[in-house]
Amino acid sequence: MKPNRFKRWTLSDVILFLFAAASLVIGRHADAEQARADSNRVFELRIYHVLPGKLPALEARFRDTTSKLLAKHDLRVVGYWVGDDNTFVFMVAHSSREEAKKNWDALRVDPEFQAVMKSEQTDKLVEKVDSTYLRPTGFSQIK
């Protein structure tokens, strides 16, 4: 049996790979003229550090509820991934940092989302969340 060479990947390797993959997906679906005109566009990489044994429950929450709420508030998810290290990762495309703030604020006051967060307090799934905003470089294929 061949050794699994992916077990040596660090979290930063996984993040870089995911961003590259997401860029290809978005690039295929984005209108090139709009992407060039939208110089304020940013991507948000969110990494959820999931408590042991809770990853299936978090995936179900996003599949059944959270992803619909994100879409409702114009938080355009590029994709969802899970890591070998109990991480749940997703990337959101925003037209600007200001739009991101406005959309996240609207989500946080949504009664449906507040109910999801209340259930998170009683059945904790996530230890911590890391969020990083990324702006495309001038030579990026996607902007």
DSSP string across 72-128: HTT-EEEEEEE-TTSEEEEEEEES-HHHHHHHHHHHHH-HHHHHHHHHHHHS--EEE
In sequence order, the 6+-apart residues with CB closer than 8 A to the CB of 13 are none
What's the domain count of the chain?
1
Answer yes or no: is 86 within a domain. yes
Query: Which helix (H) or strand (E) is 3 found in, with range?
Result: none
Query: Which phi and psi (to 5°) does residue 96 adopt?
Result: -165, 165
Please give the residue range of the domain that contains residue 17: 11-32+39-134
User: Distance from first CA to last CA of the chain, Å, rounded?
Assistant: 42
Answer yes or no: is 65 within a domain. yes
Answer yes or no: is 139 within a domain. no
* CATH number for 45: 3.30.70.100
DSSP 7: G
Query: Model confidence over 61-83: pLDDT tens digits?
Result: 999 999 999 999 999 999 999 99
39 band by pLDDT with thresholds 50, 70 and 90: confident
Answer yes or no: is 66 within a domain. yes
Threshold 0.85, pTM exceeds: no
Answer yes or no: is 2 within a domain. no
